[in-house]
Amino acid sequence: MPDGPLTSRLQHLREGDQIFVGKKPTGTLLMDNLLPGKTLWLLATGTGLAPFLSIIRDPEVYERYDKIVLTHTCRFVEELAYRELISEHLPQHEYLGEQVRDKLVYFPTVTREDFHTRGRITELIETGELFARLDVPAFSTENDRIMLCGSPDMLKEVRAMLDERGFIEGNMSHPGHFVLEKAFVG
């Protein structure tokens, strides 16, 4: 956001300017905002993939979860940014490769052209197709932890689905079953 607290300052930086980065993470998409679980679901649409690119490179994530499922839904195949990085380069990473190969499942989908997985992630969840294709049980509060980032419609729809299933939204004060990026949520 051009007038946001970070962008409004960063836009005036010049090459060579110093910046200071603190060690304390902030925001809603933090591991500490989630209760312990077995499977971490990262549900992204469009540019909502961005925060998950750092999460799937974090060794602690692979220590905390038995499985990490990253879904990325876009309109067209060409918009599935980082597909090659996720499916080809990361599994060969010098330090993370073995854990990535053992635990990370990448599930890209598109909505407006033919592709081996087609459809909105919300529809694939509702119909059970997501779980059938991955050969895993449907979401459960006992085992699954979910992070959401993407379009306002996706966030609203998945949040409603999770609420109906008894999932509790987490925050810094009270960890829960799911968290979502709030920058675009109304």
In order of 9, 145, 148, 157, the CA distances from 180 in angstroms are 25, 11, 5, 12
CATH number of 41-180: 3.40.50.80
Tokens read off for 118: 């087609």
pLDDT digits (tens, 9 = 90+) for 137-186: 999 999 999 999 999 999 999 999 999 999 999 999 999 999 998 764 44
pLDDT at 93 over 80: yes
pLDDT digits (tens, 9 = 90+) for 18-71: 776 666 555 688 999 999 999 999 999 999 999 999 999 999 999 999 999 999
Domain ranges of the chain: 41-180
DSSP E strands, 5-154? 39-45, 67-74, 104-110, 144-149
Tokens read off for 51: 């925060």
Strand partners, 47: none
* pTM beyond cutoff 0.75: yes
